[in-house]
Amino acid sequence: MTNLDAVRLTAPGLYTAAGVDPASLWEALVAGKDTGRPYEVASGPWPGTDTVFLVDDPDAATLGVHRRVLRTSEKQARMALYGARLSLAGPAGSGPVGGERWGLYLGLPTVDEELLRFTALDGLRAAAGSPDRVAALYAREVPPFSGLSHLNSTAAAHISAAFGLTGAMAAYSPFSDAGLEALIDGVLSVAEGENEAAVVGAVSPKVHPLLFPQYEELGWNGATPGEGAAFLLAARAEDVPVLQDASEHGGTAAARLAGYGRAFGAEGADRTAAIAEAVHTALEMARTDADGIGWVLPDAVWTTAGEQAQRAALDQVFAGAAERPAVIGTEPATGVLGPAHPLAHVLLALHGLAGGRRLAAAEGGAVREEALPVSRALVLACGARGQVCAVVLEGAGR
């Protein structure tokens, strides 16, 4: 039998352009800190902006691995390993480390490597008038298994090896709902006794010239991309005090997943209805209603249609609330983080729940800190193809 009340969320590890923990991100948002960096490659700047939200590529010493590991990974996998290290080991390496029945649940981004090597483009142009020649060129030039993401295996393998995780595992890809899918299933694995604890994490795509055409094909609205990783640990409530004593992140451990909802709506009214349905399901599971939510952290939907659907759904859900909760996300300090974005919102919400505070919009686009009137937060994820997840987080003291 599922018992969500028996699971706590602890050991946050967050790596974004704003810093390496939720407190740094919180402070950057309140201070209005400019965390963007110049970005330009041979093809020019990222369309619409000359800055993006980059993170440094972790090296072997930072990751605590042999340099040979870096030869079998790309930046997303290294960001994921660093996020897991921040969560499980802490900056000084003193935090809790995994075990035989510790699982791993990952939300991973779209593969951003070319299907056809750039060096083959001249040949493709010459072969364009002949289907047979095009087929032969693709058969010759496309790397083996290029349609499959080796990020899934390398990120999972490196994290598992570094922390001795041998429990049940799963990877979700590639859109923003993947991070919350990982959170929900990771918590359920502990609540249902499949794992003793579950490492839950998500990573953004690396900012790369090939990312833009992928975003553009999905209806990108001009939002600025960012890089980062967000990780936490779902553990049994009786184990949390021990983990807090061992970790440098103990101040944000007293929270739980109180409810969740999942739905699907491809576009228009169906998408709005799906978001509203997922939220209502999460509220019902959490045994609360619209008045029981003190903070909403919406997804960074980077399509116009998705943004409109999310706004309309929230208007429906909170239309009868006595006081509409604050609605604010992290994009001003992180950019759009893909699968890591909703999970970064989860960590920010846990930080607020621990201190009884929330962030709210102020005049002129500023962000202010204020008291959290209700010890619950709602986090949304809206995948680009219509997948929707909603989770209600609750302070464990309730």
Q: Where are the alpha helices (DSSP H) in 218-288?
A: 240-246, 268-285
Task: Identify the CA nearest to 344 among candidates 59, 28, 97, 6.
Answer: 28
Higher-confidence residue of 56 and 149: namely: 56
Flag the least confident range among 37-51, 141-155, 365-379. Answer: 141-155
DSSP alpha helix (H) spans, 142-239: 150-163, 177-191, 211-217
pLDDT band per the 50, 70, 90 thresholds, residue 326: confident
What is each CA distance from 320 to 290, 291, 310, 371, 392, in whole angstroms? 8, 8, 17, 22, 19
pLDDT at 23 > cutoff 60: yes
> Other CB atoms closer than 10 Å to residue 48's CB: what's the count?
11
Question: Do residues 192 and 5 touch, judged by C-beta distance below 8 A?
Answer: no
Contact 25, 349 (CB under 8 A): no
Contact 334, 25 (CB under 8 A): yes
pLDDT for 339-390, tens place per residue? 999 999 999 999 999 999 999 988 888 899 999 999 999 999 998 888 999 9
Which pLDDT value is given to residue 30?
A: 95
How many other C-beta atoms can be found within 10 angstroms of the C-beta atom of residue 384? 22
26 φ, ψ to 5°?
-55, -50
pLDDT over threshold 70, residue 42:
no
Least confident piece of the model among 148-157, 239-248, 284-293 = 239-248
| Residue 176 CB burial class (10 angstroms; 0-12, 13-18, ≥19) | buried
Q: List residues bridging with 171 in a β-sheet.
A: 106
For tokens 């795509």, what's the residue? Answer: 205
User: Helix, strand, coil proportions of the chain in percent (round to 5)?
Assistant: 40, 25, 35
Tens-place pLDDT, residues 107-134: 988 654 555 666 677 777 787 788 887 7
Q: What is the pLDDT of residue 81?
A: 93
- Residue 156 φ/ψ region, left for φ over 0, alpha for ψ in the -120 to 50 degree band, beta for the rest: alpha
Instruction: Read off φ and ψ for residue 257, nearest 5 degrees.
Output: -85, 110
pLDDT at 8 over 80: yes
Length, in residues, of the chain: 398
The mean predicted confidence, pLDDT, of the chain is 85
**CA separation for the pair 155, 172 (Å, rounded):** 12
Domains of the chain: 4-114+145-252 (3.40.47.10), 255-395 (3.40.47.10)
Residue 319 exposed, middle or buried by CB count within 10 Å (0-12, 13-18, 19+): exposed
**Can you tell me the distance from the alpha carbon of 14 to that of 11, in angstroms, rounded to the nearest whole number?**
10
Provide the whole-model pTM.
0.88
Cα–Cα nearest to 223, from 108, 385, 384, 107: 384
Query: CA-to-CA distance for 37 and 50, rounded, in angstroms?
Result: 8
Q: What whole-number distance in Å separates Cα of residue 56 and Cα of residue 207?
A: 12
CA–CA distance, 308 with 384 (Å, rounded to integer): 13
pLDDT at residue 146, rounded to an integer: 45
| Digit-coded pLDDT (tens) for 184-206 | 999 999 999 999 999 999 999 88
Residue 392 pLDDT greater than 50, yes or no: yes
